[in-house]
A and B are shown apart, each in its own frame.
Chain A
Amino acid sequence: MENKIETQEIILTKKDFESDQMVKWCPGCGDHAILKSVEAVFPIIGQKLGMNKEDFVVVSGIGCSSRFPYYLNTYGIHGIHGRAAALAMGIKLTNPKLSVWIISGDGDSLAIGGNHFIHIARRNLDVNYLMFNNEIYGLTKGQYSPTTPKGQKTKTSPQGSFETPFNTGELVIGAKGKFFARVVDTNPKLMQKIFLEAALHHGTSLVEILQNCVIFNNKIHALITGKEVKNDNQIILEAGKPMIFGKEKEKGIILEGTRLKVVKIGVNGITEKDLLVHDPTTEDTGIHMMLVSMTPPEFPAALGVIRSVKAETLEESIWNTIEYEKKASPLKSVDDLLNSGNTWEIE
């Protein structure tokens, strides 16, 4: 594989990634904060991975979030609806050295692009997938999406949606995904930290961003992101640390029988030692599946890197096999191939 890391130090700044195009998202849209976070973190990623600004490629499908490539000064393609993951596959398999970023929304990824979404997770292509989840179709002005809660009224569900929504994390883990993280658009620091971890993870890094659509689904994540409730309704998971949350860090999560349970530290003899310690690296999906399913008010929503399991990537498997076969095979050119097998000479 040509995936060697350059030794010279690369120094990039936010400016290197800012585009000269006018950003046309609605004022107050969560996308602005996500864009700023990406601009801030790309220079750090470049430095850590020895990537220059021309080594970043940003691809997208269709939807508000999918305008993203136009607003970043990198190589980029704004593709067709739902197919960003497929674009990324062709790019990464052709040139594994590139840092490839998929930008997509809940409709783009989980409805029209659902097939590509589960397959990219399963294949473990080394790309970073930022899925903006605002639980609504924004660009087409307010229809329900595959993540819209059951019963929610939208333009196409005037009596309330009849459908059970997907949970993005469950879908990723169920599709054999190796990396899943969740962030909120109201926490730029966490976004930058997690985007960096996604970039450093070797494999398909799926990051769900709970993003607010100020026009068509305003405050849909307020129960998680609201100032008054966020300490009680979010838990930011960190590898190797006990699962603690709450304003006073007074609450935690334990495993009781086969279920998770929220407990108060100090009550009924519970100490920090009784709490679950987060291990994102375990192959076992049991706890991870329960963590991604946690929803307020019963549980805090899990944020941070929930699952991060090491495995060979698709492009490594392919290119390592190519390198091996190149050495092992007597066929060195197309001429050799054409003249192999049953051939005969006419004098």
Chain B
Amino acid sequence: MTTKKNKVVELEQAVVRFAGDSGDGMQLTGSLFSDSTAFAGNDFATFPDYPSEIRAPQGTVSGVSGFQIHFGHKTVHTSGDLADVLVAMNPASLEANLRWIKTDAIVIVDTDAFIMKNFIKAGFKANPLEDGTLTGHIVLEVPLSTLTREAVKDLDLDNKTALKSKNMFALGIILYMFNRDYTKTFSFFETKFKKNPIVVNANKKVITAGYNYGETAEVFTNTFRIEKAELHKGRYRNVTGNLATAWGLMAASERSGRKIYLGSYPITPATDILQELAKHKQLSVVTQQAEDEIAGIVSTIGASFAGAMAVTTTSGPGLSLKSEAIGLAVITELPIVIVDVQRGGPSTGLPTKSEQSDLMQALYGRNGEAPVVVIAAKSATDCFYLAYQAAKIAMEHMTPVILLTDGSLGNGSEVFKIPKVADLSEINPPFVEANDPEYKPYKRDTEKLSRRWAIPGTPGLRHRLGGLEKEDITGNVSQDPLNHQKMTDLRQAKIDRVANYIPKLEVEGEQEGELLVVSWGSTYGVMITAIEEMHTEGKLVSLAHFQYIMPLPTNVREVFSKFKKIIVCEINMGQFVNYLRMHFQEFTYKQYNKVQGLPFMVIELKTKFEALLNE
């Protein structure tokens, strides 16, 4: 934290991390603090970090649930490396998060939970508040449980109910610390617990008590304020990548005039998209929770045949199950969108942790020559635009499109400037009019090479599609050798030509120079932060970040040729770098990879890039 001397210290940015038992309500605490941050006019990004068990054994490190928010006066691209402030509701959450906080971080602990029984569960041999574990940190020891009970004592609540609000006491303290209007958080409870005024009252009292505690207990030598961010004029909201994906798909449906159909099976971390779309029957969204991943995608293909904007959502293991059906969509040349919210693999892997390791599966994980369009969102808000784009490409080019996001985007949130649907680019699927005498199922558009979309129920266009190879133009079943070659070539060429309809690759920073850093998908935030920091330090490094992967933008060779060194960074063991090696063999690529279920940190990237500059 850069500080100016004042009673209220002005900061450029800060990172706060809430951590507690998975039943302690840390996600709610974090999201209420995010709302407050929005009202304060800061830019911010958040990330929840929770275990894959719903309620792991209480008090253990495996049961710790965390929520991190990074907010600032300037544009915030990531949820932050190390935290400036940690709220630890018990010893386990302190143990789990010590390595994610700065050496001089402020640590707020619930001393009521710092008892021997909990030290043992957390793996501490002695009280970490006393044994030097926290040397260098500013530690605020607050008996949160006691004070919470005290705050609601006139409400006649049982002990268990009273203690449910102790997270709100912590929130009150943090709200005071950052000079926030704590009453803004009340509306959440007033709406959510409309029918239970005692709960509303209890939470209001506890937040207020926490805030007042901060003010009167003289535990802080100063408080902090972050000026409003320089955001463009407009209406804003907070959005997670999964929500943004759902809404981008809905926008594409509305703009194209095609009903949206989602066939999906619940899977972490993609389920939110299904849950969100399931809510929106009022906007004619049809969702079907299928009996399995396969029925999810196959029903999507059926819906597409019937004329819907058809989508299936999944994560890595589900994408594996969908492989054969993606092939069916490839050969029938029907538009579908497949959203893969990637997670750590292989197999069940790390369900709640993020990874970029499904790239090769998305590109090639099918039998036969089965090319599809693959695109990847670069931030939570970008999920909106890329979901829209996925649907547009699918329908206009009559092809399956795989949209790659991942757990960090899906669950992470960002400030979203609300767009107008009418401002999004038009979507014009190649429909066939009734009784068109020229219609042949596999006759193609000369530019895009897409076949046309003839919807059941339309007179004069009856035709059969299917998984058997089809004769060019007529669509009759064909085993002819030359026809198979031709159809294989056409299917690839159709995908290649999508390159003419996507944006060119852009370089951030100098357009030529010593070092080009290459990345794709969810790592954009941390990459750009590293590059920008290096620029302010006078170290010139440029970034080329890919959202379009199959096909690649048309100017990749041109961009790469202007740099002496290229390094490709990804949260996998080098899938994109190998893809680039295959396509552009004339360049030498270095690579930086990590698969720890964790995002890159700005500091590790900078260290790597600086070493390369000095090589």
Residues in B neighbouring A53, C-beta threshold 8 A? 462
User: Which B residues fall within an 8 A CB radius of A?
Assistant: 35, 38-39, 41, 231-238, 247, 250-251, 254, 259, 261, 263, 280-284, 286, 288, 290-292, 294-295, 298-308, 310, 324-325, 327-328, 332, 418-422, 456-468, 476-477
**Given A75-B464, A87-B305, A326-B281, list of 12 further CB < 8 A pairs?**
A54-B459, A55-B456, A62-B467, A80-B298, A80-B327, A91-B305, A93-B261, A93-B288, A322-B284, A334-B254, A339-B237, A343-B236
Known: A54-B458, A89-B302. A345 touches B295 (CB 8 A): no
- Which residues of A have CB within 8 Å of B476? 21
**Does chain B have a CB within 8 A of A337?**
yes
| Residue in chain A with minimal CB distance to B298 | A86
Chain B residues in 8 Å Cβ range of A73: 462
Residues of B within 8 A of A142 (CB): none
A30-48, CB < 8 A from B: none
A223 to chain B, nearest CB (A): 35
Q: Which residues of A contact B303 (CB under 8 A)?
A: 90-91, 93-94
A89 touches B288 (CB 8 A): yes
Q: A339 — which chain B residues lie within 8 A by C-beta? A: 235, 237, 418
The distance from the CB of A112 to the nearest CB of chain B, in whole angstroms, is: 10
- A96-112 toward B: CB 8 Å interface, digit per residue (1/0)? 01100000000000000
B462 touches A344 (CB 8 A): no
Question: How long is the Cα–Cα vector from A115 to B295 in the complex, in angstroms?
Answer: 9
**CB-CB under 8 A for A344 and B298, given A77-B305, A95-B456:** no
Q: A77-B302, A346-B232 are in contact. Are A86 and B294 (CB under 8 A)?
A: yes
- Kindly state the separation between the CA atoms of A329 and B328 in the bound complex, as whole angstroms: 38
Q: Are B462 and A335 in contact (CB under 8 A)?
A: no
Report the nearest A residue to B309, measured CB to CB. Answer: A94
Beta-carbon contact of A325 and B325 below 8 Å: no
List of B residues within 8 angstroms of A94 by Cβ: 259, 261, 286, 302-303, 306-308, 310
A70 touches B466 (CB 8 A): yes
Contact A90 B282 (CB under 8 A): no
Q: For B424, give the chain A residue with the smallest CB separation.
A: A334
Q: Tell me, yes or no, whether A328 is within 8 Å of chain B by CB.
A: yes
Chain A residues with a Cβ under 8 A of chain B: 21, 52-55, 57, 59, 62, 69-70, 73-80, 83, 85-95, 97-98, 115-116, 119, 318, 321-322, 325-326, 328-329, 331-335, 337-339, 341-347
Residues of A within 8 A of B468 (CB): 78
Alpha-carbon separation in the docked complex, A59 to B464 (Å): 9
When C-beta atoms are compared, the residue in chain B nearest to A85 turns out to be: B295
Interface hub of A74, A77, A321 (most chain B Cβ within 10 A): A77
Judging by beta carbons under 8 Å apart, are A54 and B286 in contact?
Answer: no
A74 and B456 alpha carbons, distance in the complex (Å): 9
Shortest distance from the beta carbon of B222 to any chain A beta carbon, whole Å: 27
Residue in chain A with minimal CB distance to B476: A21
A227 to chain B, nearest CB (A): 37
- Is there contact, CB below 8 Å, between A83 and B282? no
Q: Which A residues are in CB contact (< 8 Å) with B290?
A: 86, 89
Is there contact, CB below 8 Å, between A78 and B464? yes
Which residues of A sit under 8 angstroms from B457, Cβ to Cβ?
54-55, 75, 95, 97-98
Contacts of B294 in A (CB 8 A): 83, 86
Check A80 against B261 for contact (C-beta < 8 Å).
Answer: no
CA distance A73 to B462 in the complex (A): 7
Q: Give Cα A334 to B247, complex, Å.
A: 8
Whether B281 contacts A322 by the Cβ 8 Å rule is: yes
CB of B237 within 8 A of CB of A78, answer no
Greatest chain B CB density within 10 A among A75, A115, A331 is at A75
- How far does the Cβ of B216 sit from chain A's closest Cβ, in whole Å? 30
Q: Are A90 and B421 in contact (CB under 8 A)?
A: no
With the chains together, A97 CA to B38 CA distance in Å?
47
CB nearest neighbor in A for B419: A338
Let me know if B306 and A344 touch, CB within 8 A. Answer: no
Please pick, from B38, B235, B236, B292, the residue contacting A115 in the complex, using a CB distance under 8 A: B292
Q: Which A residues lie within 8 Å of B305 (CB)?
A: 57, 75, 77, 87, 90-91
Q: How far is the CA of A85 from the CA of B234 in the complex (A)?
A: 47
Contacts of B304 in A (CB 8 A): 90
Q: How far is the CA of A187 from the CA of B435 in the complex (A)?
A: 37
A89 near B295 (CB under 8 angstroms)? Answer: yes
Contact, CB under 8 Å: A344 / B237: yes
Name the CB-closest residue of B to A21.
B476
B39 touching A89, Cβ below 8 Å: no
Pick 11 A–B contacts, CB within 8 A, sort by A.
Answer: A75-B461, A77-B301, A86-B290, A86-B302, A90-B261, A91-B456, A94-B286, A337-B247, A337-B250, A342-B238, A345-B234
Min distance, Cβ A61 to any Cβ of chain B, angstroms: 10
Residues of B within 8 A of A80 (CB): 298, 324-325, 327-328, 467
